[in-house]
Structure 1
Amino acid sequence: MSLSGERETTATKMTQDTSSKSVQKPRAESPTTILLSMKSDRPPAFSQEPLLDDNKEVESLDSEDVLKITHNLLDRRSQTLLTVQQDIKAKLKHKYQHISEGIGHHGNQSLFKDIYTELYITEGGSGGLNNEHEVRQIEMASKKQTTQETPIKCNDIFKPLPGQDKPIRTVLTKGIAGIGKTVSVQKVILDWAEGKANQDVHFMFPLPFRDLNLKKDQYSLMQLLSHYFPEMKEIDSIEDVETKTDFILDGLDECRLPLDFKNNEKCSDVTKTTSVDVLLTNLIEGNLLPSALLWITTRPAAANQIPPECVDQVTEVRGFNDPQKEEYFRKKITDQKLANEIIKHIMTSRSLQIMCHIPVFCWISATVLETMLKVAEKNEVPKTLTQMCSHFTLIQIIVKNRKYNKATETNPKELSQSDKELILKLAKLAFQQLQKGNLIFYEEDLRECGLDVTEASEYSALCTEIFKEESGLYQEKIYSFVHLSIQEFLAAVHALESCLDKKENVFSPTSDDEEKESIKLSDLHRRAVDQALKSENGHLDMFLRFLLGLSLESNQNLLRGLLTQTGSTTQSHKKTVKRTVRYLSDKIKEESSPERIINLFHCLNELGANSLVEDMQTSLRSGTLSETELKPDQCSALAYLLLMSEEVLEEFDLKTYNTSEKGYQRLLPVVRTCKRALLAGCKLTYESCETLTLALQTPNSPLRELDLSYNDLGDRGVELLCVGLTSPLCNIQTLVLGQCGLTEGCCSDLASVLSSPNSQLKQLELRDNDLQDSGVTLLSAGLEDPDCKLHTLGLSGCLVTEEGCAVLSSALRSNPSHLKELDLSYNHPGDSAGGLLSAALVDPTYKLTKLNVDHGGECRLKSGLRKYACHLTLDPNTANPNLILSEGNRKVTCVVEKQHYEDHPDRFDYLYQVLCREGLSGGRYYWEVERDGSMADIGVVYKGMKRKGWEDASWIGGNRESRCLLCSHSGYRFYHDGVNRIIPGPVSNRVGVYLDWPAGTLTFYSVPSSGTLTHLYTEHTTFTEPLYPGFGISFFAVTSVTLCQIDDQHIQRWVDHGGESWIKPGPENTRDHGGESCIKSGLEKTPDGLTDAYEDEPDLSPLWAPSD
């Protein structure tokens, strides 16, 4: 009702006594205007006040009469609004008090309060476009840590979040299909109608877009409301600010109106007639009813249809978390023992567990598993999405046959011809509408697909859980499948049956009979894969999974009454699957989009090709994922891919993936589903250990080996790890913590692991950590414990002296029955301590069979890697003519004038490169290089690398025989054999290089002025020849490169015996000197491998000649 003057229409005043004398003074406007604004077709009929018949009588009234009439009008308006409100509440309560879980109006319904389970709703960021397929989105959503987000109750949707002061008018709620957006709307409306929440709101108007689509006529806003709510005809307007209204626009993604915010005319009059599209854009923009609240729900892909400036808050429905899933199944299934079995089964299948974040899929799963677990063998219970949807479809046919009890049907499990025709017609509709991106259909859509509307109603009545017919707010017919996944499944059924029965490829139909005869199922697969890869929003991703899953013989047998039987043999089915798997493998190697690659892995999973995940990882190492820096969300998708596989990964190599530190964090959960986790050199920190500790405590975890070397975990990280390592659920047998920045501070924690009766640890590698004697003493307390089961202990390069070795010897005497191998190389054990340990090799009471005390000496007691510092010189015979060597062949400078060097087969003739004369093998070496300029290549090469020409074969890092780190002012990049990857890290003019030749590692460090090493990258391989340090110089980018003089009097200037040398048990306790000499140059070697090497020593012919 439109009134002049101040109005008192709050919900409180609506319920006040109408005889109240409190009336505010009206504006100086004619009372005639007041009366003419009343509806003329139904007089208000006030009980004691006479109606005025003409304006003359009005003009004769004095001011007291006007106030009296105004007061009565306000009272009457309050009563009218209250009556209309109560009528609308009653109507909405009647409509929304029941819930139909995928069941149309033909089926039985449950009371909303009996089945409703609280949904997880959070702040949803922006309303921007999300083109990922919704199943992938739910995979990502299921990973997000709920403890880091504040849940929002649906009745609090308009309340500002903590820290927000701005009032909220419009809320946009995102969520994938079936996640619970409409159920959340139903919850809010029902609670309001029943007086439980939001009672400060006078009117709630649910206006689903699926209904608004049908409004072709023109309306004013008040007429549109009266169309849906005839009770509103009692009221002219709801424009006053005191009347609080809430418009709920559900299903923006189903909107077929243009919503042309840019070009639609502006409208601010609620009584002005215009198109529904114009009404909506003006309502959303705030031109119409600016004081009204708006709640818009949408699938993510349509969220960007609303201009961001029109949205005050974005929320996201995440569906069910794990406790909510369990709550749902326990409410749904009355038999609690059966409910527990269903929950257990869901949790064992990663794909089903993720899909059950979607409430509708929980209902589908409950429908199937409630039947299957009662009658089926364990191996028949569905574990994949394809199996689940196949069983769901068949169960609905069985229910329908039993319900209608056709006389011709003796076995309700058998599909009649009418059943088959029904499902296949629905399948055709599903495919055609999926191609258009439609989830809801109207009568014209059905007619376009050749379906009779009467038939459609019959289908929905007979098979209501698959295909729904609904009545809108004004009884218009609306059709849909129970969930997008069912539509995608049936679309795949249509594509498969068209190929099997009609020899048609739905993606490239043809009328040529000869061409039809040549169509094979693998051809359809290839075409479907290609089409899915072309899709920008991945709308065919799930369709492709279902299509490939249906190609398995077991699934086709399940649907044998529906699909055409071709007489194909088991061998033929296997060949088809094999061809498709090969095609998917090729596409994974070729495809540049990580998102698409992820779905191809899902397809392999549906094909049952889980054992191929390892092969795919091999492809990815040399494919697009290794070349592209993965974003953290892409890493999460990849992590879920690997977690979903039923096949346990033999090996998960984290450094395979080129990503950020945050990206590596997202991939860490994968360790719980692999046997061997290689996480070396991935910039992990102590914070990473929190995730790893949880993974170590995973029940039935297959993880046996964990390599964390070359990560700065520190003592704090190891302390966290030890919590998991002492867990009775932990199965770790091999732990590698080489060069992790550890000190004596972590040794007590490690000792507690060794002495734990729960520990299964057999091998512990601690090389290159500054543990010192004090740390070894603490560690020995665990070694001597009777519960210690350790077989192999690596303490190489840990600053251990004679004192520490004596403590180890004592520990071995206390517990001699387990330790078999002890590595104390690159320490300073001294002769006496070494002798004590060596004695254990020949004592039969000890299990020790290998002891390595090689490469020892006082020089090994220097902290860090500088204990491995070696003396290098540049080889003049390799220098490009535009390079000049100086400072005793330790500095190279690029010049314009070519130098008159003698011709030499080792010289680089075109590329500005130079090598060192020393070949390194069999040991550990460290050197530092400083560049003066913006860019330089720092690497190592085999002697046989090509020296002539411009080709990659001559460029350090461009071939198999070399590796290099490109260093520049903007960052680092590692090159090997034509493949490169960006290396994050602090930029410095000085770079440290650490070569552990026997271990097959080449590591680069950034060395700032402080001297503290920062790990950049570690290359893992197997070296087969001596390596020569080399450098590449850009004429325009760098002036010089210098081999730095490391201030250490014990710098390596001699040749160690090569290879891994162990003291083995035997009558003479001899040493095994294996491998090449560690440093090869033109110097003559003494019998024991030592030599005096001076910087000005003349160049002699090398003793080692490279092989062809």
Structure 2
Amino acid sequence: MKRHQETVINADSIKRLCQYEDVSVRHIHEYFKDDLTYILENVNAHALLTELHSRNVLNAEIYLSIKNELGDVSFANRLLEDILRLGRNAVIGFWECLYTLPKEHLHPHLLAILDELNQKGESLVEQILLDKHGHALSPELKDIQEQHKQHLLTKTQTLVEPRPPGTTLGLQKFNINERYVNLVVFSTDQFRQRSQNELIETGAKHEECLKETRMEYISPNKLFRWSQKSQCIPHAVIVSGVPGIGKTTMMQKFVYDWVTGELYQRFAFVFFLKFRELNKKCEVSLEEMILEQCPYLENQLGSILEHPERLLFIFDGLDESIHQMDFRSSKLCTNTKDRKHFGVIAVSLVKQKLLQGCSVLITSRPTRLVSVDISAFQRITEIMGFLHSDRKIYFEHFFDKEEFSEKAFHYVQENPMLYTFCYIPSYCWIVCTVLSMCFKAQPTNNDKLMASLPKTMTQLFVIFVSNILANHSPKRDDVRSTRDLLTSVGWMAEHGVMNHIIVFDERHLRSFNVSNDSHLFSSFMLESGQPPAVDYTFLHLTFQEFFAALVHFISYDSDKLLDSLNKAKSYEDGRAEIFLRFLCGLSDNSTRSMLKSHVKYLSMQASRDVINWIQQKIAEEQRDMKELLNSFYCLYESRNNALVLKCIGSKNDTAFSFVRLNPLDCSVLSFILESRRETEELNLGSCNIQDEGLKKLVPALHTIQNLSLYRNNLTSSSCTHLASGIQNNQTMRKLDLSVNSLEGPDFCHLMTSVQTSQIEELLLRSNNLTDQSYAYLACGIRNNKTLRKLHLSGNNLEGPHLRDLMEALQTSRIEELHLQYSKLTDSSCIHLASGISNNQTLRKFDLSQNNLAGPHFTDLVTAVETSRIEELLMYEIGLTDEHAPLLVSLSNNRNLTHLDLGRNGISDNASGYIRDLIVNTSSLREIRLFSHHMSHTVRRELKNLENLRPDLNVYIE
């Protein structure tokens, strides 16, 4: 695949746009609407509106007000509509503003749009009109096209959902436009072997994608548009996604939109084929494949295939193919009548050896694509699922009443374990279904309702399955047949989990003695195809993992359970992670109890075996933090506080530094910390938890004595959460918030909580703090009687509020104050001197890497003379020989034991003063004089002063 070159932004692009007629400008603006909306949601709106205002396109103040009122998404749509309504000059002015934004505001989508304008030129409008109106067809082909569209309409206009447990309803059907919710799709480059369960890994990746606003978003109408990466209009496209994320439904909507004229009318005929159905074929020709699906095309098929550039072939579910697809093979098919293996035909279409000029769209799970040569594809994408706003829309569609949809969505949002996987549409359906059951069971008693709602994945699926079992048969005593079916299905499910099998056929059913003729079987298995070629899948992959775990409690076998646990642990691709979580979740007696009335007996020994195994596993993983985190998820599912204490109770410190933690990881960690009740040290340095992750940790902050949140991309918004956690903690002694960005309006909340805390050491290094923040900081330390060490290095301390901070220092009990590299100047020395002179507790003072040289430096030295400072660090503060006589007066401080004057401009000429300083400061134990301004002879002389006192060290090299 060609790699794209950097797009050059110049005036020619706008000139080209100006050459189009009014109607063409309108077409182009509408054509790029999805891209422009995404750009507007992610660029600096203030900068753009200011530029538009300067060009008299619109009033910036009015539109900033509209933005605050509507929010990013609605505002973007409103602005684009208004620009279009204002006419040609406004549209061109808008585009000019986009391209004249400062380079840091340019978005990859903007560069891609520019590239498409440059590359397509005059043909772009022709392409837009072709996608809108399609090709001129002969009357015969037009008639058959209408028949074909009608055929596809009947197949795609209805969305089908499984029937809810506890009802006698059949499959639920909805008009696709009423029920379909958009999925977010991003461009990707490659597929690698996964080290985590694919649902878990994609969930974490989904959160990262939502935070990374500069990724290339691919809307459906962009799949076959110009690709900046491959520098062509793609003819072969991959859409990947984890099970249940909506690949097939997205393709259904894609075909429906083509049928109804909303999308890609450049394709005169679209063929929608599924690998699962093609698995039954041995050798077949392309024409036979088409005619089996669309027999009415037989008389016109030759004419249809004469124009490959008008054809789109969609192959859904490559991961469900039982055969490998070799895109490197040279044994390809070139004739539509030749009978070949269907995989060969699909590869031949992709590689343009068959029907050159046609387009191909293939969907697959990412795991299958690891072993596939994807270089034959010009656009590679991955479905990330629902955006946060789309999840809410899904809930609104599912529940009839707004009251229920809001209650359900709020509950799930507050439960990260349930909410995280709601990026997957089918998982959303499971969550909504279970919550609707709970609402119906407890319509008025809110306390009972809250107690009945699921809090873990295991509880979610236990409630779902319990409802299936409670309503599958009028014979309430038919327990044996239920146990038999769950046992056989469970062993089949486990076989699938361990071997990456999600599609089962009659052979699998026979092998595991599964009876498929009961109402219960059809309640959690989906059937597709026609006899004898029928396939079965679980409602969702997670159902399969749940039944795989449940079988060990229904049909307990010690050896089988231990073997499964050890196998699950050994898989490096994480295929059994959720299976393990379900086993631990089911080890909890209260969670299991919901199923007992339906199956009578669930093994207690299985529970004990799982608990013993997880204890042993955690004991072995104390140094592998990623594996330990996976085990924490298992403990979270168990909801067993006593088990947490057994497993890690004696471990008083927890360090996940440099392990990236997402918000769900933080929720799990919060549960562990709360269960443990007291943690001496929690080190989350460089974990990138960000504001959302910190919010999840707040419930556990009261248990921690020493907390490090160093370099976590925290902002001012985090201060409110931190304040809440600190206010409830009277045991916290050390808080490290270094290398974040806490400057902002909420910093005051953090300082308010510090006033009444028991914190002894507070590290705020490199937080972009400015002068205004020091007014709040002054209040924080003035009333705190425990703070001993304060680190403010790497911030901008210069300003009038430094005085407030130094006044607060006078009455504080601070013993160490670090102000290294804080942009202090000579004028700051007046306030610094004031703070020191009236402080009786300060023992260590670090002023290194500030520019303190100047007339007011005298004030600072005078204050140090009478202070109780023992360690004074003035490394690289701009001192020269003229300051050396002043330094001698530091010998008047009888407490001074350590002095750092390194990297200053003191030369041989001032060496006598430095000698006097060393000799006359009787308390001095260590002095550092690293400098390239002194000769080797003078350095040796000063070094020899160590002979004066046995405990004196002079570091000068």
TM-score by length of 2: 0.67
Quote the residue 2:496 is aligned against. 433
**Hey, what's the Cα distance between the residues in 2 that align with 1:601 and 1:768?**
35
**Hey, what's the Cα distance between the residues in 1 that align with 2:398 and 2:418?**
17
Quote the residue 1:325 is aligned against. 391
1:505 is paired with a residue whose SS is helix
**Hey, what's the Cα distance between the residues in 1 that align with 2:149 and 2:137?**
18
* Aligned with 1:468 (options 501, 526, 530): 526
* Aligned with 2:262 (options 193, 196, 201): 196
Segments of 5+ residues of structure 1 without an aligned counterpart are 1-74, 507-523, 658-662, 813-820, 838-851, 868-921, 929-991, 993-1006, 1012-1044, 1059-1076, 1080-1091, 1104-1108
For 1:854, give the aligned amino acid.
Answer: R
Deviations 1:939-992 (A, max 9, x none): xxxxxxxxxxxxxxxxxxxxxxxxxxxxxxxxxxxxxxxxxxxxxxxxxxxxx9
Quote the residue 2:369 is aligned against. 303
Deviations 1:111-161 (A, max 9, x none): 222221111111123244435312322331232142333432224322235
Correspondence 1:401-412 to 2 at 5 A: 401=473, 406=474, 408-409=475-476
Q: How has the CA–CA distance of structure 1 residues 1052 and 784 changed in structure 2, closer, same or farther, with 3 Å as cutoff?
A: closer
The offset of 1:763, in angstroms, is 4.9
Deviations 1:223-267 (A, max 9, x none): 111111112212343443465111111111111013244556221
Quote the residue 2:773 is aligned against. 749
Q: How has the CA–CA distance of structure 1 residues 243 and 835 changed in structure 2, closer, same or farther, with 3 Å as cutoff?
A: closer
Quote the residue 2:481 is aligned against. 418
Quote the residue 2:144 is aligned against. 84
Deviations 1:565-609 (A, max 9, x none): 3785xxx8996665344212223137x6x6544322211221225
1:484 partnered with 2:541 = yes
Q: How has the CA–CA distance of structure 1 residues 792 and 228 changed in structure 2, closer, same or farther, with 3 Å as cutoff?
A: farther
Quote the residue 1:369 is aligned against. 435
1:505 partnered with 2:562 = no
8 Å CA contact retained: 2:334, 2:354? yes
2:527 is paired with a residue whose SS is strand
2:725 is paired with a residue whose SS is coil
Task: Let me know the Cα RMSD of the aligned residues.
Answer: 5.0
8 Å CA contact retained: 2:874, 2:899? no
Q: How has the CA–CA distance of structure 1 residues 550 and 680 changed in structure 2, closer, same or farther, with 3 Å as cutoff?
A: closer
1:93 is paired with a residue whose SS is helix
2:171 is paired with a residue whose SS is coil
1:268 partnered with 2:324 = no
Quote the residue 2:551 is aligned against. 494
**Hey, what's the Cα distance between the residues in 2 that align with 1:796 and 1:76?**
80
Q: How has the CA–CA distance of structure 1 residues 338 and 159 changed in structure 2, closer, same or farther, with 3 Å as cutoff?
A: same
**Hey, what's the Cα distance between the residues in 2 that align with 1:252 and 1:211?**
11
Deviations 1:641-693 (A, max 9, x none): 53676848966967677xxxxx54357864441525967695x4xxx65x332
1:230 partnered with 2:295 = yes
8 Å CA contact retained: 2:719, 2:750? no
Quote the residue 1:598 is aligned against. 629
Correspondence 1:474-873 to 2 at 5 A: 476-499=533-556, 503-506=557-560, 524=561, 527-563=563-599, 565=601, 579-589=612-622, 596-609=627-640, 642=669, 647=674, 664-665=687-688, 670-672=693-695, 673=697, 675=701, 684=711, 691-698=714-721, 701-702=724-725, 711=738, 717=741, 720-727=742-749, 733=757, 738=763, 740=765, 746-752=770-776, 763=787, 765-767=789-791, 769=793, 778-781=801-804, 796=817, 804=832, 806=834, 823=842, 825-826=844-845, 853-855=867-869
1:446 partnered with 2:486 = no
**Hey, what's the Cα distance between the residues in 2 that align with 1:357 and 1:320?**
5
**Hey, what's the Cα distance between the residues in 2 that align with 1:772 and 1:94?**
67
1:267 is paired with a residue whose SS is coil
Deviations 1:271-301 (A, max 9, x none): 1122223212212222112211111111110
* Aligned with 1:144 (options 208, 212, 224): 208
Q: How has the CA–CA distance of structure 1 residues 255 and 620 changed in structure 2, closer, same or farther, with 3 Å as cutoff?
A: farther
Deviations 1:429-483 (A, max 9, x none): 21222232111112222222223xxx41x33x445441111236x9942211000
**Hey, what's the Cα distance between the residues in 2 that align with 1:322 and 1:1047?**
67
Q: How has the CA–CA distance of structure 1 residues 760 and 833 changed in structure 2, closer, same or farther, with 3 Å as cutoff?
A: closer
- Say which is worse superposed, 307-316 or 254-263, in terms of deviation: 254-263
Segments of 5+ residues of structure 2 without an aligned counterpart are 1-134, 443-447, 848-855, 881-894, 928-940, 953-957
**Hey, what's the Cα distance between the residues in 2 that align with 1:207 and 1:342?**
37
8 Å CA contact retained: 2:193, 2:370? yes
Question: Which structure carries more helix by proportion?
Answer: 2
For 1:360, give the aligned amino acid.
Answer: S
For 2:461, give the aligned amino acid.
Answer: C
1:111 partnered with 2:181 = no
The offset of 1:110, in angstroms, is 2.1
Deviations 1:47-105 (A, max 9, x none): xxxxxxxxxxxxxxxxxxxxxxxxxxxx9982332222222211111112111234599
**Hey, what's the Cα distance between the residues in 1 that align with 2:810 and 2:247?**
55
TM-score by length of 1: 0.58
Identity over aligned pairs, percent: 19
Alignment: residue pair count: 743
8 Å CA contact retained: 2:632, 2:672? no
* Aligned with 2:189 (options 104, 117, 125): 125
Question: Which structure carries more strand by proportion?
Answer: 1
8 Å CA contact retained: 2:234, 2:379? yes
8 Å CA contact retained: 1:736, 1:766? yes
**Hey, what's the Cα distance between the residues in 1 that align with 2:707 and 2:228?**
39
1:205 partnered with 2:259 = no
Q: How has the CA–CA distance of structure 1 residues 779 and 573 changed in structure 2, closer, same or farther, with 3 Å as cutoff?
A: farther
**Hey, what's the Cα distance between the residues in 2 that align with 1:493 and 1:712?**
46
Correspondence 1:926-945 to 2 at 5 A: none
1:167 partnered with 2:233 = yes
For 2:398, give the aligned amino acid.
Answer: K
Q: How has the CA–CA distance of structure 1 residues 669 and 259 changed in structure 2, closer, same or farther, with 3 Å as cutoff?
A: same
The offset of 1:419, in angstroms, is 3.1
The offset of 1:333, in angstroms, is 0.6
1:549 is paired with a residue whose SS is helix
8 Å CA contact retained: 1:121, 1:319? yes
Q: How has the CA–CA distance of structure 1 residues 809 and 1051 changed in structure 2, closer, same or farther, with 3 Å as cutoff?
A: closer
**Hey, what's the Cα distance between the residues in 2 that align with 1:784 and 1:476?**
84
Quote the residue 1:509 is aligned against. none
The offset of 1:268, in angstroms, is 0.9
8 Å CA contact retained: 1:169, 1:291? yes
Q: How has the CA–CA distance of structure 1 residues 795 and 926 changed in structure 2, closer, same or farther, with 3 Å as cutoff?
A: closer
**Hey, what's the Cα distance between the residues in 1 that align with 2:328 and 2:832?**
79
Q: How has the CA–CA distance of structure 1 residues 667 and 1097 changed in structure 2, closer, same or farther, with 3 Å as cutoff?
A: same
Correspondence 1:342-357 to 2 at 5 A: 342-357=408-423
8 Å CA contact retained: 1:443, 1:478? yes
**Hey, what's the Cα distance between the residues in 1 that align with 2:220 and 2:241?**
13
Deviations 1:743-767 (A, max 9, x none): 9x8343220455699x999859535
**Hey, what's the Cα distance between the residues in 1 that align with 2:916 and 2:235?**
74
For 1:285, give the aligned amino acid.
Answer: K
* Aligned with 1:280 (options 329, 332, 346): 346
2:429 is paired with a residue whose SS is helix
**Hey, what's the Cα distance between the residues in 2 that align with 1:121 and 1:303?**
17
